[in-house]
Structure formats: structure tokens, C-alpha cells
A and B are shown apart, each in its own frame.
Chain A
Amino acid sequence: DSGVTQTPKHLITATGQRVTLRCSPRSGDLSVYWYQQSLDQGLQFLIQYYNGEERAKGNILERFSAQQFPDLHSELNLSSLELGDSALYFCASTRLNTGELFFGEGSRLTVL
């Protein structure tokens, strides 16, 4: 157990819909990262937050947005969903800026 909690674990929705994925970081971790992993693909970096502020942005689509709240949990919002958005979405947190990330178990999104 990494200490990072992601909900929901599985989500099935239709094209055009909007979903919100939630992440609770490890206790004490200020930094949260979001990654997308499509079938048999690597980890695509989406966005990073540190103590409520956006710190870095990767290949995140304009239809996607995220935020980190004062209690440090984070949400990833995916809108106008397309079939190609079907993927595993991982959240990771860290206390130090050393690259040592702790990943959640992921949220598997299926868009039909």
C-alpha cells in the first residue's frame, strides 16, 4: 500500500461525457502528479501540483483540467470524452523533489 488513494477504481462512461477522478496523496506529501497510461503504453505526464499551485504541465489536453485543494487532495477533470481517452489514470505523490514518487493504484476509465 503506497498510501496514495485514487477513486473511482473503474469508471465506464459514454463519449461526450465528463468525469472527475480523485486522488488523496500520502500524508505529508505536498506534490501531486497525474499520469495517463493507455494500453501497453508508457506513462504520459499530464500535470503536477505543489501545495495547491500548478507546478508543471505535460501533454495535457485542453479538455482536461486539474486542481489541488487546500487539504492537498487533487482532482482530474476530463470533459467531452472521446474513445481515445480510455486509459489508466495514475496519481502519484511525493514529499521531496527527488523523483521518488508513490503511485496510487490508478483509475481505469473506459469510454464507450
Chain B
Amino acid sequence: GQQLNQSPQSMFIQEGEDVSMNCTSSSIFNTWLWYKQDPGEGPVLLIALYKAGELTSNGRLTAQFGITRKDSFLNISASIPSDVGIYFCAGLYYGGSQGNLIFGKGTKLSVKP
């Protein structure tokens, strides 16, 4: 079945640094989404991408839907301590009459002040 390979698994960075993470698959997806999970909370949607090649920003976050529809990346610029958490990519594909959502295993981000 479809699988998402999310990397890196974890990152330890200094405050102010830029961060980049990505998700790849051997399968095509119709939608790519990025979620963030703060410690002790449920995941929250950050960015949703609907078209191949689409580049979308949300504040210091920028995400792109790969041209091949098999990958996506998320960049965070000028990281701050509250960026700490787990970032999940998710891909949606349509099989039969409905959409099927697959999550990556997450990238755990730690930010040192």
C-alpha cells in the first residue's frame, strides 16, 4: 500500500536557524498536508496543498507540492522556541469512491534558545 517516507526523523537546531523537512513516496497523491503536534496536544493543520507545483506560505512556514505529485517539503524560517513539536506530513489519494489519508512518521523538532 501507499507509504510516506518523512525525513529527517528528528532535528536539533539553534533558535534563528532555518529548518527543512520533506516527505517522499513512490505513489502519487492528490493533496499534501502538513500538521504540527505540540507536546501533549493533538495535531493541528498548518498548510494544505492541492496542486502539483503549488507553493504556499503561512507566516514563517512554506510548503510545496512536488511537480511529480510524489513529494512535498516544509520549510520553517528563523525558528523560534515555540516551533518545538512533531511535524507530520500527510498525503491524500483517491481510491474508489473516497479519499484515503496517509501520515508520515513525523519529524521531531527541538529548538535550543
Contacts and interface: CB of A to CB of B under 8 A. Distances in A.
Interface of A: 2, 4, 33, 40-43, 45, 50, 55-56, 90, 92, 97-106
Which of B45, B88, B104, B106 counts the most A-chain CB atoms under 10 A from its CB?
B45
Contacts of B42: 2, 4, 90, 92, 103-106
Interface of B: 31, 33, 35, 41-45, 48, 88, 90-92, 98-101, 103-106, 108
Binding site secondary structure of chain A: loop
A42 B92 contact: no
Binding site secondary structure of chain B: strand
Given A50-B98, A105-B41, 10 more contacts: A42-B88, A42-B105, A43-B106, A55-B98, A90-B43, A98-B92, A99-B101, A100-B48, A101-B101, A102-B45
B103 A56 contact: no
B44 A42 contact: no
Contacts of A2: 42, 44
Contact of A97 (B33, B41, B90, B98): B98
26 contacts: A33-B101, A42-B103, A42-B106, A43-B103, A43-B106, A45-B101, A50-B98, A56-B98, A56-B100, A90-B42, A90-B43, A97-B98, A97-B99, A99-B31, A99-B33, A99-B90, A99-B91, A99-B92, A99-B101, A100-B33, A101-B35, A101-B43, A103-B43, A104-B42, A105-B42, A106-B42
